[in-house]
Amino acid sequence: MNIKNGLFFVVLSGIILASGQVCAGDDDGFKPLFNGKNLQGWKVFLKDDKADPAKTITVKDGEIQVTGEPYGYFYTDNAFKNFIIRYSWTYPKNQPEKTTMNSGLLLHIQEPHKVWPKSVEPQGRYMDHGKLFFIGFDKGSKREDIFDAKAQKEALKPSHEWNATEATVRGDGTIEVRINGKLVSYGRSELTSGLIGFQSEGARIHFKDIKIKMLD
C-alpha cells in the first residue's frame, strides 16, 4: 500500500466511523432539485452568448439532456451550504467520432459566471469521474484531494448505462464523492457555499433524479 492509498484508507475509515456507515440509495430527507418537467429553479450560462440555450440543454423524458456544445453549464437559482447532492447520468451511445465523454458537477460556484467559474468540480469525465478539480483557485490557495482510481474503476458501470454519483458537501469545505455507492474521492478547499451546476463540455450527456439533502 503506497502512502496516498494508505491516507485514503485512513480518511475513509474516519468517514465511516463518523457517519456510522456509508449508505447508498436511501432517499430519506432528499428533495428533488430537478422536477423532471422543465428547468424551473435553474439558469443556463453558455460561452457563446448568442447561442440558444434551448438547443444545448433540453428537458425530455424526465431527463436534462445536454448536447455538449457550446460549452457552458446549467446552475441553480440558489446557493447551498452543507448538503448531499445525488444524481444519475449517462453518456448516450453513438457519440460523434473522437468525442471525449466529458462533463462535470460544479460545486460552490462563485460569480462572475464564465467558462469556467471558480468552483470545485467532481469530475464528470468518464475516465476519471469523481476526481476533484479546483477551478480558478490561486496558486497559494489551500486545498487537498485524494482520489482512489482503483475504487473508481470498480464502481463505474459502462458509460452508456445509468450511473449514480453522490457528493457530500460539508460546511467546513470538505467534499466526499461516491459513485454507485462507493467512496472514490475526498478533498477540502476554502470554499464552503455557492451555486450548483452541471457542465456542457463537448459530449452528449443526460442527467436525471437530481436530488439534494440539507445537513444539520
Q: How confident is the model over 82-138, as pLDDT tens digits?
A: 999 999 999 999 999 999 999 999 999 999 999 999 999 999 999 999 999 999 999
With 60 as the cut, is the pLDDT of residue 11 above it? no
Name the pLDDT band for 140 (thresholds 50, 70, 90).
confident
Answer whether residue 141 shows pLDDT above 70.
yes
| Residue 197 one-letter amino acid | G
> For a pLDDT cut of 70, what percent of the chain falls above it?
88
What global pTM score does this model have?
0.90
Boundaries of every domain in the chain: 3-214
CB distance 183 to 62 below 8 Å: no
Q: What is the CATH number of domain 3-214?
A: 2.60.120.560
Exposure of 129 by Cβ count < 10 A (0-12 exposed, 13-18 middle, 19+ buried)? buried
**95 alpha carbon, distance to own chain's centre:** 21
Going by C-alpha positions, the residue among 45, 36, 38 that lies closest to residue 119 is 45
